[in-house]
Amino acid sequence: MTPQDTPEHSTPLQIIPLGGLGEIGLNMTVFEYDGVILVVDSGLMFPEDYMLGVDIVIPDYEYLRENKERVAGIVLTHCHEDHIGALPFLLKDVPAPVYATPFTIALVSHKLEEKDLLSRVDLHEIKPRESFSIGPFHIEFVRASHSVVDGVSLAIRTPAGLIVHTGDFKITHGQLDDEATDVSRLAQLGEEGVLALLSDSTNAEKEGYTLSESEIGATLEKAVRDSSGRVIVALFASNVPRLAQIVNIAAKTGKKIVFNGRSIEVSMRIAQELGYINVPPGMQIDVSEVKDYEDNEVLLVTTGSQGEPMSALARVAAGAHKQIKIKDGDTVILSSKFIPGNEKAITGIINNLYRRGAEVIYEKISAIHVSGHAFREELKLMMHLTRPRYFMPVHGEYRHLLHHARLAEKVGIPKNRILLAQNGNVVNFLDEVGWIGESVDTGRTFVDGKGIGDVGRKVLKDRRALSEHGMVVATMVLDFDTGVVIYGPELLSRGFVFEDEKGHLLQDAQCVIMDAVEQLDLSGPDRIPLIEAATQQALRRFFNYVIRRRPVIVPLVLEV
């Protein structure tokens, strides 16, 4: 079926990814039926190398802003930043009730309180296997194992059929705790009949199964026991299962434990309040008390495993932390994956830690981290459990989506029922038939300080030019009546050439400007923009010819 075959009176279910397809992060998906919009997740991504000065990146949700009266609710699968980081920005423009599990709600509440939004947002706490309705959508939370507690997949019942959205998940054999993926419920949904499966593609290239947390726990415990000095463990603040492991290891090895870093302190407080972690009385100490104990009695837990420049670990590595100074015998464990794009910053911290005398353990030399995303055998198992009529890979770069689509074909899903969509594509379902239709505008919005969306490609291009070639400011003052240059041109450069080398170069550049200006007709009212354009053009040619550099040229022309 195609859109032309659709009866006028029929209403298709539409699924519109606004982020998360063809990229890591920015996860946001719209479900729309009969004028009602349901949003699943609202994530951010951290800036790539070319995004100079940008703090974070969020999806362009102009489609939701334009249709905010129709947005009936926002559902969150779990509390990682790539799924909830853009929520405060979205809620400012698109007020809507939010539905999530207890731990996710607690972290979201903290975020919204920081932005003075908490009192304006209706938060609903939903537990796994509980159901609720948003307009025509009847949603059930299904427990999903991930590198954070309270992760869920979504069973979304719509008038067009049942949709299963996995969120981020893994299926680890031998995991019997309360955080294991609810495979029995997924199998029941498969028996019921799944119209479409939207499945996490992050690790679609990796063969086999993910390691179990118990294997990682044994490696971590050995590293702690083998250390002769202090142990510092850096990880994601939201990785509560790993935090619980480390607390247990500290208790077994008789160490005092310190939590340092604002985000990790918030996660620990929430995890203890909700009963996910129990720290034995007297075991936790403040960072200021570390000096009162022998080195081999202390285990510090902190953030900064991704090389974040202002994190506690970055300050420790740089020797700038007030209370923690690295010394011989210390062991630093980076218990997290190197996120693509962060490798340079992470290796910089590792090198600095080694220089200061620490032993560093990280994923490339030891099994101290397990992915929270399913490997290929687990992805196949998800398809076998749910037995979907249609399959749509989500969450990943294009290569991940493509490998996942090919895997689905190998499992037996017909190629014409595998929907390889891109951000902005409108995926339609009607009468058990699915197709990719037209697209809506989407993209990335840069957040820089308090500015949201005011940094675009031109600004980034200028920043890169400034970083690579510097800047030259050309100042001139004209006589208001005659247009004659009465001062200048004076040239000021920054980041362009060394001070003792630029004298003759800038003097020659002054002559180049005067030659260009003398050829202009300055009798008209538009002489200032004429001079600015001629100055830019002349200097660009001159600098490129003389020293093969292209600084940013800023002409400043005044009239008196």
Q: CATH 3.40.50.10710 in the chain, residues? A: 213-361
The gap from C-alpha 401 to its chain's centroid, in whole angstroms, comes to 18
Residue 440 has pLDDT above 50, yes or no: yes
Question: Residue 340: pLDDT band by 50, 70, 90 thresholds?
Answer: low
Q: In this structure, are strands 152-158 and 161-165 parallel, antiparallel, or unpaired?
A: antiparallel
Q: What's the confidence (pLDDT) of residue 255?
A: 96
Confidence of residue 507 (pLDDT cuts 50, 70, 90): confident
78 is in an annotated binding site: yes
Q: Supply φ then ψ for residue 441, to 5 degrees.
A: -70, 135
287 has binding-site annotation: no
Evaluate whether 206 touches 407 at the Cβ level (below 8 Å).
no
- Distances in Å between the alpha carbon of 351 and those of 314, 337, 354, 360, 406? 11, 17, 5, 9, 40
Q: Is 34 marked within a binding site?
A: no
pLDDT of residue 7: 44
Question: Taking residues 221-225, what's their average pLDDT?
Answer: 92
Q: Does 504 count as an annotated binding residue? A: no
Active site residues: 200, 373
SS (H, E, C) 332-348: EEECCCCCCCCHHHHHH
For residue 526, the model assigns a pLDDT of 81
pLDDT at 296: 93
Q: Is 35 annotated as a binding residue?
A: no
Q: How confident is the model at residue 401 (pLDDT cuts 50, 70, 90)?
A: very high
Q: What is the mean pLDDT of the chain?
A: 89
CB-based burial label for 71 (10 Å; 0-12, 13-18, 19+): buried
**What is residue 218's predicted lDDT score, i.e. its pLDDT?**
85
Q: Mean pLDDT throughout 266-283?
A: 94
Q: Is the dihedral of CA 176, 178, 179, 181 positive or negative?
A: positive
pLDDT tens digits for 441-460? 998 888 876 657 556 666 66
Q: What is the pLDDT of residue 110?
A: 95
Least confident of 147-161, 317-331, 487-501: 487-501
pLDDT of residue 450: 63
Q: In sequence order, what DSSP letters do the residues of 104-143 get, joined into one string?
A: HHHHHHHHHHHTT-GGG--EEE--TT-EEEETTEEEEEEE
Over residues 195-218, the mean pLDDT reads: 90
Alpha helices in 276-324 (DSSP H): 312-317
Binding residue per annotation — 439?
no
Give pTM, 2 decimals.
0.83
pLDDT of 307: 67
Task: Decide if pLDDT at 213 tops 80.
Answer: no
User: Looking at 116-125, 137-146, 317-326, 426-435, which range is the least confident one?
Assistant: 317-326
Q: How far apart are CA 100 and CA 102, in angstroms?
A: 7
Whole-angstrom distance, CA of residue 258 vs CA of residue 274: 20
Query: Is 369 known to sit in a ligand binding site?
Result: yes
Q: What is the mean pLDDT of residues 297-303?
A: 94
Q: Which band of pLDDT confidence, cut at 50, 70 and 90, is reported for residue 478? A: confident
CB-CB neighbours of 289 under 10 Å: 13
Q: Residue 124 in contact with residue 74, Cβ under 8 Å?
A: no
Q: What is the pLDDT of residues 56-98, one digit of tens each?
A: 889 999 999 999 999 999 999 999 999 999 999 999 999 999 9
What per-residue confidence (pLDDT) applies to 1?
A: 45
* Torsion on CA atoms 126, 127, 129, 131, rounded to nearest 10: -10
DSSP 290: G
Segment 356-379, tens digit of pLDDT: 999 999 877 677 778 899 999 999
Q: What is the pLDDT of residues 159-178, one digit of tens each?
A: 999 999 999 999 976 555 67
* Residue 390 to residue 379: CA distance in whole angstroms: 15
Specify the fold of 13-208+371-452.
Answer: Metallo-beta-lactamase; Chain A (3.60.15)
CATH 3.60.15.10 domain extents, the chain: 13-208+371-452
pLDDT value at position 459? Answer: 67
Residues 92-122: tens digit of each pLDDT = 999 999 999 999 999 999 999 999 999 999 9
Mean pLDDT of 467-477: 83
Query: What token pair was written down for 251?
Result: 């208790």
CA 468 to CA 88: how far, in whole Å?
35
Which one-letter amino acid corresponds to residue 235? L
Contact between 426 and 417 under an 8 Å Cβ cutoff? The reply is no
Looking at residue 4, its pLDDT comes to 47
What per-residue confidence (pLDDT) applies to 50?
A: 64
Backbone angles phi, psi at 306, to 5 degrees: -105, 10
May I ask the CATH class of domain 213-361?
alpha beta
Residue 372 marked in a binding site: yes
370 is in an annotated binding site: yes
pLDDT of 502 strictly over 80: no
Tokens of 321: 């932390």
pLDDT band at 3 (very low <50, low <70, confident <90, very high): very low
Q: Is 168 annotated as a binding residue?
A: yes
Checking phi first, is residue 282 left (phi over 0); if not, alpha (psi -120 to 50) or beta? left
Which of 3.40.50.1980, 1.10.1040.10, 3.40.50.2000, 3.10.20.580 would CATH assign to domain 470-559?
Answer: 3.10.20.580
Give the pLDDT of residue 463.
Answer: 67
CA diameter of the chain: 87
